[in-house]
Chain A
Amino acid sequence: MPRLAMLIDMTRCIGCDACTVACKQENGTPADVFFARVLNIESGHYPNVKRMYLPILCNHCDDAPCLKSCPNKAIVRRQDGIVLIDQDRCRGTGACVSACPYGNIYLNKKDEWYLDQDEPYEKDFVKPRLEENVARKCTYCAHRVDEGLDPACVVACPTDARIFGDIEDPESKISKYIVEQEEQTGREPFYLLPEAGTKPAGMYLGPMARQESHTGGNRASSEGTEPISHTSRLPEERRQGQSRDARAFLNRKMTLLRIATAVMALMVACFATAQSQMEPAALKIYTDSACSNCHGDHGQGDYGPAINVSKMSQDDFMKIVRKGVGDDMPETSAEEMSDADVIALYKAFKGAGTKVEKPTETPTEKPTEKPAEQANVQATPMEPNALKAYKKSPCSGCHGDQGQGGYGPAIDTSKLSEAAFMKIVRKGVGNMPETASDELSDEDALAIYQTFHKGPLQVEKPEPMEPATAGDAYTLSTCTGCHGVTGNGGIGPPLAGIALTEDQFLSTVRSGKGMMPGTPASVLPDETVKQIYKEFSAKKVNEDEVPISFKVGRFLSTQNVGRLFLFIFIIAAIFGFNNLFYWLRAAGLKQLRPYIAKFGRVRAAGVVVKALIVEGLGVASLFRKDKFRWAMHGLLIYGFFGLMAADIWMQIVNPARSDMSMVSGPKLLAVIAGVSVFLGLCYVLYRYKKDEYIDNGMTLGKDFLFVNLLFHTIISGFLTVAINKSGANDWLMTVYIYHLASISLLILTAPFTRFMHVWVAPSMVAMTRLVEEITASGVDIGFEREPSPGRHHKSQRIAAQIVSMFDPEANDEVKVRYYP
């Protein structure tokens, strides 16, 4: 693929500005707009001064900040690398003006021209080509390039200092020149502001002239005047440059931020690696296997639960692997994973333990707590036939091969009637699926009933429930479906050791909470509920029986979710601020600081706040140019604000996040805001369908990610509400977690997706306004003299780089001068 690039040889350039004028003529630019310009740099002190000329033009960056910052996607990158601003699509927002670290984008509210109104030269041939209040910049003369011609500045350069062509083609003029110059003069091309990370297509070769200076140290001979000492210099403070302290301060701050980011990253990394205590070989088997797709890279759990084999025999493990469990975990054939590998994994996980849930526990510390092993030793043998039937049945997949419990609870039929048992088997309970008679014959089922009538074959017997009637009431209630047969939890939390008061318990049962449905008194009389409460509030929870899912679920308490989001917000904020600092650096904030000080910090803050409100919140540029687009954009932006407001409101009136009526204030606001965002999003999707800039050459993936995440978030949000209302509780948790996960991802990825335009565009526009105000106020002679106002500080940054490269002794004694 071709990549057009321009090389400027500083040895050849004589700073004549022919390019500047040729460009003006070719592109018909108005006054103060210079797509091509030449920096006139001087450094050092007399007599050790150096002068350098540096032509500047759009670098058509591979990683163009202007393109990324444009909220309207009006900037595109062509296949050949040329970055263009679509003049029709640009809304004159001004974000790109600040985003370009080189200061190569021009936006004039009102164009000034050079000639009288009635001169056809300007009226008919120049003015019609560009519109005011639209961002404009060098196009590498795309219209000429398309006709096989070189850009105007290249053609007009009287010293051949500009070499243009396809850098990917080794036979092109530019490629050959680079090779030839490296051989002949030892010069290698360099880029401007490499720290900006823009990957520019503009390259430079350095000056060859030594520019030594020789003086005897006298003052200019003016007859009658005394020579002055060579060492007579200027006051120290003038040479020092006043920004040094400020710079050090900013550097320190940036360093702190970097350290903080690094520590965070390190913590995340440690957290991830702490779980991997497997041997590398086993780990490899695991990561290669399909298991890791769901259970996480280290078995720590991801889509599926964390792998915990502490309560499983090797056979159980094998069976689960081969047959699958539940709806989600599929069977795995021997072809996909050999027995030997499965055994190896079993051993590995046995050794590794389950650091996710109990990081401090290791299997060797608590060998006695392994029910499966103890069962093998201590269990009274089952009737061989029944055991055989049980082991063959799907039941053992969850309940353990000895019925001692595994993924599902231990089997204890002692408190069940035969009929109740059969009902549970055939119809399923909670997570437990129904089992048809062809999977398990009535005979076998009954045999199993008998076998487990004396309780499960486990060492740690649950403490007996009393009174038996209460146990029956509980077991027969729908509660077991979620809370587990032993009340140690299933899909729902364990009831044992419940911390609620009796009244709270009752009210929760009646009205439900979260995904738990309300149960009317007709189904479960108050008496029974109270009995159940009495029983479980006095009982101690058996941690080993609490299912993993609930251990995760318990983690998802309102507080924990809050904490989690806080954490996510902090992480996102770190990246986001880092990201924002990148843009502020690109906008030249550091170089602008001395001028802000002169301008007045309070005054500057006023300008910024006003811009943030008018241009950021109000999206004034869009409002000016296209009211409909503004309204559509408003659906999204104000919808978002509505969602945030609803959340804050909720936090104030209902911090526990218990169920509220749909017509309550926060809920209503959230729904309206959500609908607004949804509609806005639909418009975005509709636009994307027919948008020729869907691929602008750089941000497609990021845009796609953002839009999809947003879409998923909104949809899953609405689904959560809908499911909650419809009572399809089986899906509630899943969808809700999905919603939370989407939000988390949306926030975490925000600094890397198009979401970032939320803070990049307003901050860049605010910078643009600030620079405009500073320029207009004439606080500095540089801004006042500059032919293209508003980029003096960026020019200084470029000049500083050039001087540090070619006149390192001059330190920060750099001046960008404009004339003569």
Chain B
Amino acid sequence: MATRHAVPGRHHKPVKQANVRIVRTTDSPNCTGACGWLATVVDDTIVDLKPAADYDCAEYNPRGCLRGMAMTHLIYGPDRIKTPLIRQGERGENKWKEASWDEALDYIADKMKAIIRDHGPESIMLFNQVVGTGYVQKGAQVRMAALLGMSFGTAYDFNGDISMGYTQTVGIDSVECETKSWAHAKTAILWSSNVFQTRIPDAKFLTQYAKQRNNCEIIAIDPRCSQTAKGADQWIPISPGTDGLLALSMCQVVLDQGLVDWEFLKSFTDMATLVREDNGMRLRASDVGLGSDMQFVVWDAAHKRLFVLPTDTLRLPDDVAPAFQGEWTVKVGGADVKVKPVFELVKEEVMKPEYSPEAVEKVTDIPADTIRNIAVTYATNRPSTIIVGMGVNHRLHGDLTIRSILLLSALVGAHGKPGESVSIYSGQHHFRIDVSPWWFPDGKRPNAIPVHYFSLGKPTESINPKIKFPKDGFKGLICSHANPLVTEFSGLVKQAVDKLDLFVTIDFQMTPTCEYSDVVLPAPTFWEKNELVATGCHPYLQIQQEVVPPQHQSKTEMWMTKEILRRIDPSLLKHFEMDEFGAMRLMLDNPDCPEVEGITVEQLQKGPVRLKVHDPECGLDAQIQEFKPFPPRAYPFPEGAQREFLKTARMEFYKEEAIYQKMGETVPTFIPAFSHMSEEERLFPFSIVTPHSKWRVHSTHCNNNVLRNLNRKPVVEIHPIDAAARGIEDGDVVEIHNNYGSYKLWALLTETIKPGVLCVDHGWWDQFLAEGKYHSVHTHQKIKPTHEAYYLPAVYAPGQHWKDTRVDVRKVN
């Protein structure tokens, strides 16, 4: 709790003490940390923020970080948007007319009505970034999109965070442990994950608990000695893009040394299911007359017969001994068909000589002995956990890397228990509760579409037929809670925006994206509105309170959507007859969602309430501990929505679909990271990594003067050897360039980065660069056809690959 009574040394001028209120609330930026705060408010001004530290589970106290605490400087910052703005002049010219709300909303509604009339509602896309950060306000926007039949651009895939390797293997785009679970680990591999910067409130579970109590062996795999590597026992500077190779080599070590957990493979994976040699498809029960085509068979070595796997549980009868190795011939439709268990196929791949540690050493630059050591440590020094960072996933072939890592974890059976998991904390894409009753009125859903296709401007040839690309293309974009013009692909997004008739941005401060909009609507920060918040990191449901009224003329997103709807179709207003708390009640009174059973708004107003989940909740714990079939449910989709791409209901290390067979990706394999790029692109000598910065949440706080006081300039980290070869000295202005573009910033010479790698932290607004557009250097956008085999919004969808970029750097004279 804050006390503001005195100044250092002596009392100088006592701060006024009238009208002091202390409010418990939660913030919800896109770090998705959902930390509880106590705000001290004097005369409707937030003067102090301190961690609330009121979670029942004491280990979670306190939660918070520098960005949360510096939030006052954004709430009262100079870039706050004070009134609605309507563009005068060309896009990006930054000439504005300060408009009244009526003017601005009329303008938007008129434009929307015209587009709906001429091109259909799906020509207008709503993009409100990662939706899990705010169930009520973002939900109101989605509810409007659903009612009008608009398109809804999913962000998780656009951000590249969707882990398709996870979806392909486990049936859900990623799975995370509650971070308290890390505390149990004795081995923790941080695979390009920088939790000391990106998960600040949770880092203590590694340092204070895992390290101090268990003397956990922490291994950081990263081309850059990051802030997190500081807390690691081993820093493994890996060559960028070779993580999948390392994972497969570790798998080979595990197989070689007989460290396989057969019990785990038996119950929880498809390793024993049989694959037909003739068409590469899995052998169905229907093929051999034992059941349906959604049932799969294994060879029961105990009884020397085929055994049909149960579909309602993962538990096999004790007397069944599925065979993992061997080859059998079965009769399918009268023909003899050779079948092999998946394990045989996986083993064939993994045991290839190119995955031997000695061969892998040459490519990854990790000594063979080290590869063996970390594999053995991971397999034997248990519990062991892997935290995957997006450096390995933000690549075209990132899915294969994740599949290889999951293979490694499955071979040793490290899942579903405290301190045992493969976690990916990339965005709050997962809903902890079922938001459908609020988001999808009467079951109506908007036309969800990956933003990829928006920025490409047209569908790909291999687009999944379930994806409805607007017949006339996109004509309008309502962008909220987002700053898409400050990303690695800003160039392409901008090209797409240029074709629009309407570009509305809703934000609380004037971002580069706002500057390029037609209409800018001032929104409140999350300290000025009511919201329901949860996160993958901890199991508490919390309410965000309106600590101070919306500043200036800003209005909540829920109010805005109501007003837009009123102007387009007043009959739809009946779906908006409640306030924020009414919306929360809709989601809480949901018998279909066991996690919120018995939780009420009134309880939440008193403080955080624990969801009805395991303690600690581990990824896949229901599957591993209760033998519940895979995959876990992906809210807000109904149970079974993922069944089509995880037919065996087990962790799948064999993908049978024709496109996988065609691409040679049926089992986890390695494809060099840059091999899909043109010769010209590949010739640029540097790989560039773009980690999150501790000074920002993506691009939020970029203009926070307090944080900029600590981190004044964008720099590129470069090794002195590379710098010397280019005559670059510490502090020089340098230009990063490739054949797509360039930008200028300052050089930071450091020994903490692998030679041949550059590092620029992500999220800088262009105005802070020495010159140019942030991340105008990129690769062309490609979609991997296997990612279009199925479609479930933000679960099975194509993702971005920011890190597949090659550049060069030169000194600016």
**Residue from B2, B72, B232, B237 in contact with A215 in the complex, judged by beta carbons closer than 8 Å:** B237
Measured between beta carbons, the chain A residues less than 8 angstroms from B711 are: 818-820
B76 and A119 within 8 A (CB): yes
Knowing A16-B65, A25-B72, A185-B212, say if A225 contacts B756 (CB, 8 Å): yes
Per the bound structure, the CA–CA distance linking A89 and B715 in Å amounts to: 42
Give, as a whole number of angstroms, the nearest-CB distance from B260 to chain A: 25
- In the complex, B235 has a CB within 8 A of chain A: yes
- In the complex, A335 has a CB within 8 A of chain B: no
- In the complex, B154 has a CB within 8 A of chain A: no
Measured between beta carbons, the chain B residues less than 8 angstroms from A45 are: 751
- In the complex, A20 has a CB within 8 A of chain B: yes
B51 and A125 within 8 A (CB): no
**Residue from B683, B752, B757 in contact with A42 in the complex, judged by beta carbons closer than 8 Å:** B752
Measured between beta carbons, the chain A residues less than 8 angstroms from B62 are: 155-158
Least CB separation from B35: chain A residue: A158
A158 and B755 within 8 A (CB): no
- In the complex, A376 has a CB within 8 A of chain B: no
- In the complex, A18 has a CB within 8 A of chain B: yes
Q: Which 3 A-B pairs have the closest CB atoms?
A: A220-B756, A143-B6, A221-B239
- In the complex, A381 has a CB within 8 A of chain B: no
Give, as a whole number of angstroms, the nearest-CB distance from B230 to chain A: 4
A12 and B208 within 8 A (CB): yes
Binding-face segment, A128-136, A189-197, A654-662, A751-759? A128-136
- In the complex, B367 has a CB within 8 A of chain A: yes
- In the complex, A176 has a CB within 8 A of chain B: no
- In the complex, B8 has a CB within 8 A of chain A: yes
Knowing A121-B45, A158-B64, A185-B212, say if A214 contacts B366 (CB, 8 Å): yes
Knowing A15-B227, A159-B203, say if A21 contacts B712 (CB, 8 Å): no
A87 and B51 within 8 A (CB): no
- In the complex, A224 has a CB within 8 A of chain B: yes
A85 and B8 within 8 A (CB): yes
Knowing A25-B49, A115-B705, A159-B203, say if A209 contacts B230 (CB, 8 Å): yes
- In the complex, A598 has a CB within 8 A of chain B: no
Contacts A84-B10, A184-B212, A215-B754 known; 20 new A-B pairs at CB < 8 A: A11-B231, A14-B196, A14-B207, A18-B65, A25-B70, A42-B225, A88-B9, A120-B45, A125-B15, A136-B9, A137-B8, A143-B8, A209-B230, A209-B233, A211-B234, A216-B366, A223-B672, A819-B748, A820-B693, A820-B695
- In the complex, A52 has a CB within 8 A of chain B: yes
Measured between beta carbons, the chain A residues less than 8 angstroms from B695 are: 819-820
Within 8 A of A (CB), among B597-617: none
**Interface code A189-215, partner B: CB below 8 Å = 1, 0 otherwise?**
000000000000000000111111111
B76 and A46 within 8 A (CB): no
Binding-face segment, B339-347, B356-364, B497-505? B356-364
Interface of chain B: mostly helix, strand, loop or mixed: loop
Within 8 A of A (CB), among B192-235: 196-197, 200-201, 203-204, 207-208, 211-212, 215, 218, 223, 225, 227-235
Per the bound structure, the CA–CA distance linking A215 and B753 in Å amounts to: 12
B757 and A26 within 8 A (CB): no
Within 8 A of B (CB), among A19-51: 20-22, 24-28, 31-32, 34-35, 42, 44-47, 49-51
**Interface code A779-810, partner B: CB below 8 Å = 1, 0 otherwise?**
00100110100000000000000000000000
- In the complex, A53 has a CB within 8 A of chain B: yes
Least CB separation from B51: chain A residue: A156
Measured between beta carbons, the chain B residues less than 8 angstroms from A52 are: 230
A215 and B211 within 8 A (CB): no
Measured between beta carbons, the chain B residues less than 8 angstroms from A89 are: 10
- In the complex, A402 has a CB within 8 A of chain B: no
Per the bound structure, the CA–CA distance linking A806 and B707 in Å amounts to: 29
Measured between beta carbons, the chain B residues less than 8 angstroms from A463 are: none
Give, as a whole number of angstroms, the nearest-CB distance from A12 to chain B: 5
A220 and B227 within 8 A (CB): no
Measured between beta carbons, the chain A residues less than 8 angstroms from B76 are: 115, 119-122
Least CB separation from A45: chain B residue: B751
Give, as a whole number of angstroms, the nearest-CB distance from B125 to chain A: 33
B212 and A11 within 8 A (CB): yes
Give, as a whole number of angstroms, the nearest-CB distance from A488 to chain B: 68
- In the complex, B46 has a CB within 8 A of chain A: yes
Give, as a whole number of angstroms, the nearest-CB distance from B804 to chain A: 12
Per the bound structure, the CA–CA distance linking A245 and B145 in Å amounts to: 72
- In the complex, A149 has a CB within 8 A of chain B: yes
Measured between beta carbons, the chain B residues less than 8 angstroms from A227 are: 365
- In the complex, A817 has a CB within 8 A of chain B: yes
**Residue from A129, A137, A224 in contact with B682 in the complex, judged by beta carbons closer than 8 Å:** A224
Per the bound structure, the CA–CA distance linking A764 and B701 in Å amounts to: 39
A209 and B211 within 8 A (CB): yes
B63 and A158 within 8 A (CB): yes
**Interface code B683-702, partner A: CB below 8 Å = 1, 0 otherwise?**
10111000001110000000
Knowing A125-B15, A221-B363, A819-B712, say if A232 contacts B45 (CB, 8 Å): no
Per the bound structure, the CA–CA distance linking A128 and B11 in Å amounts to: 11
Per the bound structure, the CA–CA distance linking A216 and B215 in Å amounts to: 27
Give the number of A-B contacts (CB < 8 Å).
Answer: 320
Least CB separation from A126: chain B residue: B47
Measured between beta carbons, the chain A residues less than 8 angstroms from B724 are: 234
Which of B's residues lie within 8 Å of A, judged by CB? Answer: 1-10, 12-13, 15-16, 42-43, 45-51, 53, 62-66, 69-70, 72-73, 75-78, 196-197, 200-201, 203-204, 207-208, 211-212, 215, 218, 223, 225, 227-237, 239-242, 361-367, 370, 672, 674-675, 682-683, 685-687, 693-695, 705-707, 709-713, 715, 717, 719-721, 724, 730-731, 748, 750-757, 761, 806
For this complex, 15 residue pairs linking A to B, each with C-beta atoms less than 8 Å apart, are: A12-B208, A46-B754, A47-B754, A53-B230, A114-B709, A120-B43, A129-B13, A142-B6, A143-B8, A155-B62, A159-B208, A214-B237, A214-B366, A218-B362, A787-B710
Measured between beta carbons, the chain A residues less than 8 angstroms from B228 are: 14
Per the bound structure, the CA–CA distance linking A86 and B12 in Å amounts to: 10
- In the complex, A691 has a CB within 8 A of chain B: no
Give, as a whole number of angstroms, the nearest-CB distance from A56 to chain B: 14
Most buried by A among B362, B695, B715, B756: B756
Knowing A121-B76, A209-B218, A817-B748, say if A130 contacts B234 (CB, 8 Å): no
A128 and B15 within 8 A (CB): yes
Per the bound structure, the CA–CA distance linking A728 and B275 in Å amounts to: 125
- In the complex, A340 has a CB within 8 A of chain B: no
A21 and B7 within 8 A (CB): no
A18 and B69 within 8 A (CB): yes
Measured between beta carbons, the chain B residues less than 8 angstroms from A220 are: 223, 239-240, 365, 687, 754-757
Give, as a whole number of angstroms, the nearest-CB distance from B312 to chain A: 43
Give, as a whole number of angstroms, the nearest-CB distance from B92 to chain A: 25
Measured between beta carbons, the chain B residues less than 8 angstroms from A22 are: 50, 66, 69
Least CB separation from A90: chain B residue: B9
Measured between beta carbons, the chain B residues less than 8 angstroms from A114 are: 73, 705-706, 709
Measured between beta carbons, the chain B residues less than 8 angstroms from A815 are: 750-751
A18 and B64 within 8 A (CB): yes
Per the bound structure, the CA–CA distance linking A45 and B753 in Å amounts to: 10
A131 and B12 within 8 A (CB): yes
Within 8 A of B (CB), among A240-279: none
- In the complex, A116 has a CB within 8 A of chain B: yes
Per the bound structure, the CA–CA distance linking A14 and B205 in Å amounts to: 11
A14 and B235 within 8 A (CB): no
Measured between beta carbons, the chain B residues less than 8 angstroms from A156 are: 50-51, 62, 64, 69
Give, as a whole number of angstroms, the nearest-CB distance from A218 to chain B: 4
Least CB separation from A784: chain B residue: B731
B750 and A817 within 8 A (CB): yes
Per the bound structure, the CA–CA distance linking A87 and B12 in Å amounts to: 7
Per the bound structure, the CA–CA distance linking A128 and B752 in Å amounts to: 42
Give, as a whole number of angstroms, the nearest-CB distance from B621 to chain A: 25
Knowing A116-B78, A125-B45, A136-B8, say if A46 contacts B232 (CB, 8 Å): no
A216 and B7 within 8 A (CB): no
A16 and B9 within 8 A (CB): no
Measured between beta carbons, the chain B residues less than 8 angstroms from A218 are: 239, 362, 365
- In the complex, A545 has a CB within 8 A of chain B: no
